[in-house]
Amino acid sequence: MPELYPLTGPLDPRPRPAGAEPAGPAAAGEALAGAVPEAAAGPAGPASAGAGTASAPQLWGASGEVSASRVTVHEVGPRDGLQAEPGVLSTELKIDFCRSLLAAGVTSLEVASFVHPRLVPQMADAEAVAGALAAQAASTEGSDGRDLRLLSLVPNLRGLQRALETGVRAVGVFASATESFARANMSTTLQGSVDLACETARAAREQGASVRGYLSMCFGDPWEGPVVRSAVVRASTQLLESGCAQVVVSDTIGVAHAGQIEAVLSDLFDAGVRADQVALHLHDTYGQALANVRTALEADIREFDASAGGLGRCPFAPGATGNLATEDLLWMLHGLGWETGIDLPALAAASDAVDRALGRTSASAVKRALTRTTASG
């Protein structure tokens, strides 16, 4: 494995002509699709907080069917959060964690990963966890008016078969946008990882399952440094063409900045990818995740991955820290007037038992602040 890339500043910084203003999606002299003047665009949210009657602005990345007021938060704590934690939790605690998240209003939940237990022992009970949630969903389907997506990650056809036999009806496949991560995480090439993901996605669609396609290392790689955007676009379009409803553009090690978010999304839109076909998966290593969400909202992206309590990191990516904390994301989204359907205090409480079992302090600044406020009150 090559040496790690020496990171001393932002990767792939956007060039700016002398004297040009740095703010706005067209700041680099490169007009982005559908760009509108700042005065016409208004704020990133559908309305300022407390002013629920304002109409949503026309945004520079608008394409496809996007919501004027609602953002989907895809909760990844039970899978992406727990798979990298050093402790292995009991199956019962994992199931309770999932149920608490659903009770808090989560409608899109990542519950397990059907990878080989030797590689990720934290997910060895995938059948039990996903099966319990699938059975619960089947028994309550439609009773509360919510459309639930209970997703499990599948690495290949064998993992897909295990998931389907468990009752899973929504799966995630994954690929890499860089050669080094493909070798480290999947023992294959970049294109080999995409081909495997596409093969698995097609098989899942043939069995009637919905598919999300995860693309890792879209903004920076711990060994290679900057990532070629054309590789991200090429892999994303292949995943979509194979039957993935969405491609999840992932900042696996948390190095992305707002300029990169704009540039990658612009390239995807130019390639014909719609905004409703893109979700973002962000880590917060450099504290830029919320700024990146805000930038993506302006490009009409309406789905973001997050992890309760900031649980997790990528176990195969050196330097990666926790996922964007769901509590922090909800605080910003709700403050901007976006609807999520999730109760923030209930969501914050959902990971309490997990934190105690792992002996950890929550990585969410919002949860820590809410806890202090409650304790002092």
**Residues 6 or more apart from 201 whose CB is under 8 A from it?**
173, 211, 213, 239, 242, 243, 244
DSSP 224-238: TBS--HHHHHHHHHH
Residue 41 within any structural domain of the chain: no
C-alpha distances in Å from residue 212, one per residue of 21, 170, 277, 325: 37, 8, 10, 21
Residue 28 covered by a domain = no
Least confident of 189-193, 311-315, 367-371: 311-315
CATH of the domain at 155: 3.20.20.70
* Coil vs helix vs strand at 171: strand
CA distance 201 to 102: 26
Residue range of the domain that includes 209: 72-376
Q: List b or e across 284-310, with b for residues whose CB sees 16 or more CB atoms inside 10 angstroms.
A: bbbebbbbbbbbbbbbbbbbbbbbbbb
Total domain count, the chain: 1
CB atoms under 10 Å from CB of 46, counted, come to 23
Tokens of 297: 């909202």
182 inside domain: yes
Instruction: Report CA dihedral (155, 160, 165, 169) to the nearest 10 degrees.
Output: 100
Structure confidence by residue, pLDDT tens digits, 163-197: 999 999 999 999 999 999 999 989 999 999 999 99
Beta bridge partners of 323: 283
**pLDDT over threshold 50, residue 20:** no
- State the Rg of the chain over Cα: 20
Structure tokens that stand for 246 in this block: 């969405």
Are 177 and 227 within 8 A, CB to CB?
yes
Task: Please determine, for residue 303, whether its predicted confidence score (pLDDT) is greater than 70.
Answer: yes
Three-state secondary structure of 54-122: CCCCCCCCCCCCCCCCECEEEECHHHHHCCCCCCCCCHHHHHHHHHHHHHCCCCEEEEEECCCCCCCHH
Which pLDDT score is estimated for 86? 79
Residue 56 domain flag: no
pLDDT in tens, 23-73: 444 333 333 333 333 333 333 445 433 333 233 333 344 445 666 789 999
| Percent of the chain residues topping a pLDDT of 90 | 67
Write out the two tokens for 79: 């899978």
The predicted model gives 94-117 an average pLDDT of: 96
In a domain, 22, yes or no: no
Residue 302 lies in a domain: yes
- Classify residue 2: in a domain, yes or no: no
Percent of the chain having pLDDT more than 70?
Answer: 78
Residue 173, burial from CB neighbour count under 10 angstroms (0-12, 13-18, 19+): buried
Query: Residue for token digits 């993901």?
Result: 197
How far is 77 from 66, CA to CA, in rounded Å?
25
pLDDT category of residue 319 using cuts at 50, 70 and 90: low
CA distance 194 to 177: 9
Q: What are the residue numbers of the active site? A: 314
Rounded to the nearest 10 degrees, the angle between the axes of helix 157-166 and helix 190-206 is 30
Pick from 299, 285, 223: which is nearest to 256 by CA? Answer: 285
Could you tell me which residues are beta bridge partners of residue 211? Answer: 171
Ramachandran area for residue 225 (φ above 0: left; ψ -120 to 50: alpha; else beta) = left
**Interatomic CA distance for residues 12 and 15, integer angstroms:** 9
| Per-residue confidence (pLDDT) for residue 53, from 0 to 100 | 29
The pLDDT tens digits of the residues spanning 62-102 come to: 445 666 789 999 999 999 888 877 778 999 999 999 999 99
Which of 42-56, 149-163, 202-216, 249-263 is predicted with the least confidence, judged by mean pLDDT?
A: 42-56
Residue 7: inside a domain:
no
Mean pLDDT of the chain: 84
